[in-house]
Chains A and B, each alone.
Chain A
Amino acid sequence: MDFDLNEEQRLLKESIDGLLTDSYDFESRKKYMKEKGGWSRTVWGKLAEQGLLGLPFAEADGGFGGGGVETMIVMEALGKALVLEPYLATVVIGGGFLRHAGSDAQKAAHVPGIVDGSKTLAFAQLEKNSRYDLFDVTTTAKKKGDGWVIDGEKFVVLNGENADTLIVTARTKGERRDKSGIGVFLVPADAKGVAKKSYPTQDGLHAADITFTGVEVGADAALGNPDDSLALIERVVDEARIALCAEAVGLMDESLKTTVEYIKTRKQFGVAIGSFQSLQHRASDMFVAAEQARSMSMFATMAADFEDAKERSNAVAAAKVQIGKSLKFVGQQAIQLHGGIGMTMEAKIGHYFKRLTMIENSFGDTDYHQRRVADGGGLI
């Protein structure tokens, strides 16, 4: 039982916090948003230089052998600074598929480019009617010779516009909501038949809707078993949820800090509004919510290593519920306590609120995960 970081982890935290303090204030972020694709290659290069893009990969594959706690540290820091760069899509999700299911050849082809920052990835999973069910897949991958032909439509693919490689879920067998017959495929973003429609998202990131029309890929495109990869997808998406929980904790920390600073300085009726008890209690409740979220983010991080997949997914679902409730409260109250200025694009708090809000609706919202815990027989 230990909730402290070890020496190496403390150094990791210091180094990424330092990097982001130097290069990611709110004004710089506005500039990065205007760069191609909406994020900064320079910052991405710095993350690569510090080894953060190779963090979770095994040393044998050119990485640094970091585990869940290391990813949590990074994601919290990225949240705190409201970072735009596609760490989740590339390192956590793309990297996750490669780490858990990539063949030696696949890893050799993709991991070095991730680690040195020259390549990014995107996860093309969501479909028009799939909502949060990962097994609800209509995109098809039909066998052709040694390879496959992929047809279908994917939506809100984060970093879909910029990614060099897409990781696509597609059905090789069965009906729309069958739990078997789902495969995961590596598809070059410039393959013939891939059409992208890009747009910014509410929280300042970028995504794309992507159509696959007769896209031919080779035998080496399938990650894991092309006929039965739902368990793999669930595992990687659980890791993405855990990472989002940590990012949200970072966002909430910064939201609370910013809000407390604001109510200490903002004066009305001749005094700082933070001297009013109704505002103090609201801020205290924000603190309680953020601490409960932090506890569950740690719990989910450590649960990633649970051997029993059901226990793991139950724990992650529970964490996503707590984070969803906490982020809504902290986000909304941060705006409320800022008053009118919180409604403006020029104040940074609104941007934190928007990113927090989008996290709730990523990979299952509060109700979705609460139902999962309920149907799974509870937590006690």
Chain B
Amino acid sequence: MDLAFTKEEQAFREEVRSFFRDNVPPDTRRKLVEGRHLSKDEMVTWWRILNKKGWGVSHWPKQYGGTGWTSVQHYIFNEELQSYPAPQPLAFGVSMVGPVIYTFGNEEQKKQYLPRIANVDDWWCQGFSEPGSGSDLASLKTKAERKGDKWIINGQKTWTTLAQHADMIFCLCRTDATAKKQMGISFIVFSMKSKGVTVRPIQTIDGGVEVNEVFFDDVEVPYENLIGEENKGWDYAKFLLGNERTGIARVGVSKERLRRIRDLASKVESGGKPIIQDAAFRDKLAACEIELKALELTQLRVVADEGKHGKGKPNPASSVLKIKGSEIQQTTTELLMEVIGPFAAPYDVHGDDGSNEAMDWTAQIAPSYFNNRKVSIYGGSNEIQRNIIAKAVLGL
């Protein structure tokens, strides 16, 4: 057992850190620190900088543009990225559909899609959830019917993150209504510009629009847009969701937020002195930091295990990462609310137009508290994660 990173790993961390320092646009970083939403342009600009450096799709196999890093290097990269902070690569392309295409797609599809994912020439979104299927994903109803060399797609997806920016969607569609529910699903990709696709924004309780409903009305899609085999979509979806867990603990994000809390708490006064001097507050902050340290170690155990024994099938320990990671993220947003106290209330109608400088540092704190309630719901709710542990680990 050895906790220390090697000299090479430490040097790698320095390299990553200094690259972020020199290349993340300062305004992009500021907005992330303040919990603001970024524009499409701001995100794409950064991702292309990252891709030019060769780090855009770092975990892909080398022949498709990956870096060949070790598990520990990936861990370091993600932690530095999250805690700098800089925008994380667009998960829907880089972590979800990309690996499905290079694992199950044909050569033509790999050539057509992978470079464009890496450079975010196409913005991808995920067509999985439906109004009636939350955690019970396999109950989905969106239908793809084969007509000659085309699919005709009808149905509705929801919770489609950033669909308003999307060029492409990967969709789970029912292609065999007679099969058992997991068996009749196919994985089909198509353009969001197709005739018959309608995107309707859903405003969430933080006031923002991150998610959307997407309607398909007789959408015509070329047959060759099917990935892998017909009716095998559920297997690909499980593969994809296994990948989604990596980095789900978001240790770096919480670290960055805790630093911000400490910083704000030494400026904001309570009882005539900075709130950081209040013992009760400091205890709560320490409690959260300790939880995060434990989570970081748990994550490192999983990383070290993957490095040594290979990735294999998804590690049930990732459910621990999801549960604790989301709880800690939520606690950090609660602590921020506590720090700003009565200044949680003003609603920032002006956005980030610089017209209300005094409010800049508080404006996004309540929204980000509201927004972070999602983290224990998405990616398999924390209750689903507990089901997974009970079944896969405890054998209940």
A residues whose Cβ falls under 8 Å from a Cβ of B: 1-5, 9, 69, 260, 263-264, 274-275, 277, 279-281, 283-285, 287-288, 291-293, 295-296, 298-299, 301-303, 318, 321-322, 367, 370-371, 373-375, 378-380
Residues of A within 8 A of B293 (CB): 296, 299, 318, 322, 379
Could you show 16 A-B contacts with beta carbons less than 8 Å apart? A1-B72, A1-B307, A3-B300, A3-B301, A4-B1, A260-B395, A288-B324, A292-B291, A295-B294, A299-B297, A322-B290, A322-B293, A370-B286, A378-B285, A378-B289, A380-B255
Indicate if B387 sits at the interface (CB-CB under 8 A): yes
Docked complex Cα distance between A74 and B282 (Å): 35
Main secondary structure on chain A at its contact with chain B? Answer: helix
Docked complex Cα distance between A1 and B73 (Å): 11
B297/A373 in contact, CB under 8 A:
no
Name the CB-closest residue of B to A263: B396
Main secondary structure on chain B at its contact with chain A? Answer: helix
Docked complex Cα distance between A302 and B320 (Å): 22
B290/A291 in contact, CB under 8 A:
no
Going nearest first, the 5 A-B pairs with the smallest beta carbon separation are A295-B297, A280-B390, A374-B286, A302-B3, A284-B389
Docked complex Cα distance between A280 and B9 (Å): 40
Indicate if B317 sits at the interface (CB-CB under 8 A): yes
Interface centre among B1, B259, B285, B291, by most chain A C-beta atoms within 10 angstroms, is: B1
Minimum distance in angstroms from A179 CB to a CB of chain B: 21
B294/A288 in contact, CB under 8 A:
no
B304/A1 in contact, CB under 8 A:
yes
Residues of A within 8 A of B348 (CB): none
B290/A373 in contact, CB under 8 A:
yes
For the A-B complex with A3-B1, A292-B294, A379-B292 known, give 5 more contacts whose Cβ atoms are closer than 8 Å: A2-B308, A3-B300, A299-B3, A299-B294, A378-B285
B283/A371 in contact, CB under 8 A:
yes
Name the interface residues of B81-124: CB closer than 8 Å to any CB of A.
Answer: none
B1/A285 in contact, CB under 8 A:
no
Q: Which of A283, A321, A367 contacts B290 (CB 8 A)?
A: A321
Indicate if B287 sits at the interface (CB-CB under 8 A): yes
Residues of B within 8 A of A296 (CB): 290, 293-294, 297
Residues of B within 8 A of A301 (CB): 1
Minimum distance in angstroms from A291 CB to a CB of chain B: 5
B258/A380 in contact, CB under 8 A:
yes
Indicate if B394 sits at the interface (CB-CB under 8 A): yes
A264/B308 in contact, CB under 8 A:
no
Q: Which of A9, A281, A287 contacts B320 (CB 8 A)?
A: A287
Name the interface residues of B270-313: CB closer than 8 Å to any CB of A.
Answer: 279, 282-283, 285-287, 289-295, 297-298, 300-301, 303-305, 307-308
Residues of B within 8 A of A69 (CB): 1
A274/B396 in contact, CB under 8 A:
yes
Minimum distance in angstroms from A57 CB to a CB of chain B: 20
Minimum distance in angstroms from A196 CB to a CB of chain B: 38
Minimum distance in angstroms from A260 CB to a CB of chain B: 5
B286/A1 in contact, CB under 8 A:
no
Docked complex Cα distance between A10 and B149 (Å): 60
A292/B298 in contact, CB under 8 A:
yes
Name the CB-closest residue of B to A305: B3
Minimum distance in angstroms from B345 CB to a CB of chain A: 28
Residues of B within 8 A of A283 (CB): 390, 394, 396
Docked complex Cα distance between A283 and B391 (Å): 11
Name the CB-closest residue of B to A282: B386
Q: Which of B279, B300, B320, B387 contacts A277 (CB 8 A)?
A: B387
A1/B300 in contact, CB under 8 A:
yes
Docked complex Cα distance between A285 and B389 (Å): 9
Residues of A within 8 A of B390 (CB): 280-281, 283-284
A302/B283 in contact, CB under 8 A:
no
A373/B289 in contact, CB under 8 A:
yes
Indicate if B393 sits at the interface (CB-CB under 8 A): yes
Residues of A within 8 A of B258 (CB): 378, 380
Residues of A within 8 A of B323 (CB): 288
Name the interface residues of B239-291: CB closer than 8 Å to any CB of A.
Answer: 255, 258-259, 262, 279, 282-283, 285-287, 289-291
Name the CB-closest residue of A to B70: A1
B396/A291 in contact, CB under 8 A:
no
A1/B3 in contact, CB under 8 A:
yes
Indicate if B383 sits at the interface (CB-CB under 8 A): yes
B290/A284 in contact, CB under 8 A:
no
Residues of B within 8 A of A322 (CB): 290-291, 293-294
The answer to whether residues A380 and B297 also contact, given A1-B72, A5-B1, A281-B390 and a CB cut-off of 8 A, is no
A380/B394 in contact, CB under 8 A:
no
A379/B286 in contact, CB under 8 A:
yes
Minimum distance in angstroms from B308 CB to a CB of chain A: 7
Residues of A within 8 A of B298 (CB): 291-292, 295
Name the interface residues of B1-43: CB closer than 8 Å to any CB of A.
Answer: 1-6, 9
Docked complex Cα distance between A279 and B389 (Å): 12
A264/B259 in contact, CB under 8 A:
no
B1/A2 in contact, CB under 8 A:
yes
Minimum distance in angstroms from A278 CB to a CB of chain B: 10
Docked complex Cα distance between A283 and B6 (Å): 37
A264/B395 in contact, CB under 8 A:
yes
Minimum distance in angstroms from A317 CB to a CB of chain B: 9
Residues of B within 8 A of A293 (CB): 294
Name the CB-closest residue of A to B298: A295
Name the CB-closest residue of B to A257: B394
Minimum distance in angstroms from A285 CB to a CB of chain B: 7
Residues of A within 8 A of B1 (CB): 2-5, 9, 69, 298, 301-302
Interface centre among A1, A279, A292, A375, by most chain B C-beta atoms within 10 angstroms, is: A1
B279/A374 in contact, CB under 8 A:
yes
A374/B294 in contact, CB under 8 A:
no
Minimum distance in angstroms from B389 CB to a CB of chain A: 4
Name the interface residues of B338-396: CB closer than 8 Å to any CB of A.
Answer: 383, 385-387, 389-390, 393-396
Residues of B within 8 A of A378 (CB): 258, 262, 285-286, 289
Minimum distance in angstroms from A348 CB to a CB of chain B: 19
Docked complex Cα distance between A279 and B286 (Å): 31
